[in-house]
Each structure stands twice: as structure tokens, then as C-alpha cells.
Amino acid sequence: MSDVRSPARTAAAKAPPAPEPSLPANLRRNAPLVPTDSAASRALAAVIAILTFLAALCAGAAEIAVSSAGQWQGSVAQEVTVQIRPSAGRDIEADVKRAESLAKDTPGIAGARIFSKAESERLLEPWLGSGLDLSDLPVPRLIALTLARDRNPDLPALRAALVEALPGVASLDDHALWLQRLSTMANTFAGIGIGIVLLVLFATGLAVVFATRGAMAGNREVVEVLHFVGADDDYIAKAFQSRFFRLGLRGGALGAGAALVTCAMAGLLARMWRSGPAGEEIEALFGTFQIGWQGYAMIVLIGVIASLVTAAVSRFTVRRFLR
């Protein structure tokens, strides 16, 4: 008996198999759960880099202010000033010599320098201007006392001796009030810098929250499939945390690297400008723009903290989203 087939069966046997439906990119094999090369991922890395750069610059500026204030305090704390005021019927030169002798006899005083009348008048030029004849004005005379570094001076005893020997004429200024104000200013700058860094890190966390929620919404089908095959929330959260940690590490490295280069260039330019009058004024006010190894370590630490904040916030957001 011959094998007879119908035309329909023969056509079906010769037809090629139907192509399998193509899967979305995020459901294909070996595709990452959270793509890091998308436009949104690159934008998030750029935002993290910019915020890290700003936070690092604020930290570097606070470090420069604190270090400069420390240098000022160190230089000012090593000197005290004796002021001799002119008085009717008294020889001011003799009073100056008497005050110098009392200061040198005080333990802990390493040296004394008497300012001449011309030098004392020159100190008033920033307030009164130059070219004025101050010979008729009762300009006080100053004695700068250098304190010994190996022993504490007995300043109360020196103040009492000056009041007893030169009553109403001599006074001792240990710059305590100025040092207190300088310390308050330095602490204020440091507090402002820390506050700005915290605000920038908070803004980084908010950006990561929105980016994570967007990634979760775009990968909802993947999450449902993973739940269907038995993956728990901790596995999914770790996947998102790993991807966002890499993004945060990339952005933090770029921002911290840019801040390191900026600080190094600022120090180089400050050294180049130091020879001119403007450079001398900048150096006197802000120092040499050298933040030291503590400042550079702080900048690197901020980059690491930015990546850790990115990973922690993404994990927390994913868990909240899955609930």
C-alpha cells in the first residue's frame, strides 16, 4: 500500500519552524539585572561625580581655613605685647626701658623688642593713612615679648610688676581675646564645611533614591520573573546594591580625582603668585593653599563615602519598593 499524504500535511512538513519571540534586553541570558551603561546610569554617575567634587572642595576649603587659623594662633600665641602710653610729666623712653627690664627678668620670656617711635606710627597707617605728621599725637610705644617654648611664662606676675612700677602707663596684652575669636572663627568655618558636605551627601542619596526607583520600575518584569523562580528580596537587593555601588564608586572616583587636581593646581598657582604683592597678601590671609596629607585623605574619604552612601541607599530603596 502506497504512502499517500495530503497536500496540507506535506506543506506543513516542509515549512520552516516559526521563530521564537524575541525577549526584551533586560530578560536575555547573561544580561545584567541593572544595566550600568545606559544613559540614566551615566547621568547618575555624572551627578555623583559633581556632588562629590563640590563636597571635596568644601572640605578642602575648611581644611585650609582651619590650618591657616592654627598657624596664626601658633605665631600669635608665642608673643605678648607691652604698651607704654605717654603721660604728662613722665619720660616715655625711661618708662620703655623700665618695662623692658621687668620683662627680661620674668621667667619664660625669651626676648624683647622695642618698637621705635617711627615704627609705632607706621602701625597706624592702615587706619589713618600715610603721609601724616603724628609727632604731636600721644602715640603709645610697644614692646614685643617673645615667649620661651620650653617653659610657661608667668604673665600674671609680669602684669602685676608693670602695674606696680608704671601705674596707669603700662599694660600687658596677651592676645587672649583675639585668639578666642580666631578659634571661634576657625571652628565656625569647620562646622560650615561639615554641614555643606553632609548636605551634598544627602542630595546624593536623594538622587540615588529616584534613580533606584526608576530602575525598579523599568525592571519590574525581571523582578517578577526572579520572584517566580524562587529568588528572595535579599538577592534582588544585593544585585541592585552591587550595580549602584559601582556607579557610586565611578562617580566618587571622578569627583574626588577632579578635586585633588584642583587643590594641587591651586597650591601651584599660589606658589607662582607668591613673589608679587598680591601673592603675599593672599598667603598672609589664606596661607599657601596647601591642604596637607590630611586634606587629601579627607577628599579620598569623601569619594569612598559617596559610593557607600549610593550602595546603602539603593539597597534600602529596593527593599522598600519590594514590600
pLDDT tens for each residue of 263-320: 888 777 777 766 655 555 556 555 556 677 788 888 899 989 988 888 888 888 888 8
Domain ranges of the chain: 36-74+186-322, 78-174
Mean pLDDT of all residues in the chain?
77
Query: What does the pLDDT average to over 235-261?
Result: 85
Average pLDDT over residues 68-73: 73
Say yes or no to pLDDT of 54 above 80.
yes
The CA-based angle 187-304-50, given to 5 degrees, is 80
d(Cα 227, Cα 214) in Å, to the nearest integer? 19
Please give the grid coordinates belonging to residue 27. 530578560
Question: Residue 193's pLDDT is what?
Answer: 85
In the predicted structure, residue 159 carries a pLDDT above the cut 80: yes
* pLDDT at position 277: 56
Q: How confident is the model at residue 53 (pLDDT cuts 50, 70, 90)?
A: very high
**pLDDT at residue 50 in the model:** 92
Distance from C-alpha of 36 to C-alpha of 57, rounded to nearest angstrom: 27
Rounded mean pLDDT of 115-139?
74
The C-alpha atoms of residue 10 and residue 4 are separated, in whole angstroms, by 10
pLDDT at residue 254, rounded to an integer = 92
- DSSP assignment, residue 81? E
Give the separation between CA 284 and CA 300, rounded to whole angstroms: 28
Instruction: Output the nine-digit C-alpha cell for 167.
Output: 601705674
3-class DSSP state of 114 = strand
Q: Given this model, what pLDDT does residue 289 score?
A: 61
Second CATH level (architecture) for the domain 78-174: 2-Layer Sandwich (3.30)
Distance CA 26, CA 34 (A): 8
Contacts by 165-168, CB closer than 8 A, 24 or more apart: 165/98, 165/99, 165/102, 166/84, 166/95, 166/98, 166/99, 168/85, 168/87
Q: Which three cell numbers, joined as nine digits, stand for 211?
A: 534613580
